[in-house]
Amino acid sequence: MLEIPREFNRSASPLRDSAAAEESAVFLIDHVCDVLGVPDLSAHEVLDVGCGTKFTQAFLNHGLPVKAYVGVDVYADQIGFLQSEVADPRFEYHHIDVRNELYNPDAPPMTPDTNLGVGDRDFDVIWLFSVFTHLTPDDYRTMLQLLRRYIRQDGRLIYTLFIDELTEGGHGAIDQMTRAARARRQSRDPGEPQRAAIQRAVKPFVDLYPDQPLRCALYSREYALELIDDTGWKPLQLLPPNQFAQHQFLCAPA
C-alpha cells in the first residue's frame, strides 16, 4: 500500500484527507474509462500533467489496470517522493519547472517547447485534473500546443476547467457560488424569496480571486472553446461537472 505524507496531498478541501483523495481518483479513473468507452486502461499509456499523488495511490492500492502511467508536476519534493517510493516499472515521474502564479510563481514561463522529461514518447491518453483551472488564457493555449507533441493520432486529451455557467447537476463552481450567495441573502433577510440565479454579465475570462492569483481561472464556454483553435486539437465534447471534477473538455488531435 502506498501511503502519502500529508504535505504531499495538495487536493482541494474537502479532499485533504489522503483516503478521500484516493477514492476521488478511483472515481475519476472509472469516469475516464466511461468517457473513452473502454473497460479499463490496461491497453493505454497515460500522461498525467499536474499529477499530484492520488492517481498513483488509486492505481496501486486498488489494483486498477494501466499499461503505463507517467506523472509530471511542478512540485519537486512530491516527484522525488514518488520516484523513491514507487517501484512498479509501469510508473515513472518527472519534475517540470514552469511558472504558475498559484503553484510555482518564481519559475520560467511555459512555452510550446517546454520539456516534460519524457523524450519523444507519445501517449494514448493525456489528462490534466485541476491544471487548466489555474491557467491564464495565454498559458491555456501554450499548454495545448505543448501537449500536442505527446499524443498518438488516435489518442485523447481530457482536462478540467472552471466554466462560468450554472449546471443541471449542481456540481460546478458557479453552482456552488450561487448557493453560497443565496445562503448569505437568506441569513440577512430570511423573508427574501429564493432566486433562480444571480444576474451578472459573463466575461470571457476572470481571475476570480485577485488576492490569490489563479486560484480560480474562470472561463466562458465560448472563450474556452475559442482558445482551442489552431493549437492542434479539436474539441469533441464538453462534459458537465461531477462530484470530483469541474467541466471537462474531451479533445482529439486535429
pTM above 0.85, yes or no: yes
Banded pLDDT at 238 (limits 50, 70, 90): very high
Predicted local confidence at residue 153, as pLDDT: 98
Q: Where are the alpha helices (DSSP H) in 123-214?
A: 137-147, 173-188
pLDDT at site 192: 60
For the chain, the first-to-last Cα distance in angstroms comes to 40
Q: Is the pLDDT of residue 242 over 90?
A: yes
CATH 3.40.50.150 placement within the chain: 6-165+202-253
Q: For the segment 78-97, what is each residue's pLDDT rounded down to a tens digit?
A: 999 999 999 999 999 999 99
pLDDT tens digits, one per residue of 5-56: 888 887 655 556 788 899 999 999 999 999 999 999 999 999 999 999 999 9
pLDDT of residue 188: 73
User: Is 6-165+202-253 a domain of CATH 3.90.105.10?
Assistant: no
Can you tell me the distance from the alpha carbon of 29 to that of 129, in angstroms, rounded to the nearest whole number?
A: 11
3-state SS, residue 35: helix
Residue positions counted in the chain: 254
Residue 195 predicted with pLDDT over 60: no
Which secondary-structure segment (H or E) carries 41?
Answer: strand 41-49
Mean pLDDT, the chain, rounded, equals: 93
Residues 6+ apart with CB under 8 A from 193: none
Q: Which of 168, 155, 109, 101 is nearest to 133 (CA)?
A: 101
* Tens-digit pLDDT profile for residues 116-157: 999 999 999 999 999 999 999 999 999 999 999 999 999 999
Parallel/antiparallel/unpaired status of strands 247-253 and 66-73: unpaired
pLDDT at residue 16, as a whole number: 65
